[in-house]
Amino acid sequence: MYYPRTYNSQIGTAWFGTHIVLIRCNYQTGDTLALFKSDHAPSEPAAATCAETLSRYISIGYTLIGAYPLNDSEVQYVLQYR
């Protein structure tokens, strides 16, 4: 006998709102050092190079809102998704 399944809830519903991603890079070598994001932010995996990591996030809809030097060799990029 066949009993069809019924689902009453939505799985994978996207979170709406503003999300922030911080990408820390070594600007002398071009390496990605760290990536921090809000819990439900749309994301891509970090690449070894900073340029590729930034490109991935910009391609899925993030906007660069700032770049801040942290020390003699590191810069932190702040990206926002709305």
The string of pLDDT tens digits covering residues 17-42 is: 789 999 999 999 999 999 999 888 89
Contacts (Cβ under 8 Å, ≥6 apart) of 64: 54, 58, 77, 78, 79
Q: Is the pTM of this model over 0.85?
A: no
Interval 50-71: pLDDT, tens:
999 999 999 999 999 999 999 9
Contacts (Cβ under 8 Å, ≥6 apart) of 11: none
Largest CA distance in the chain: 70
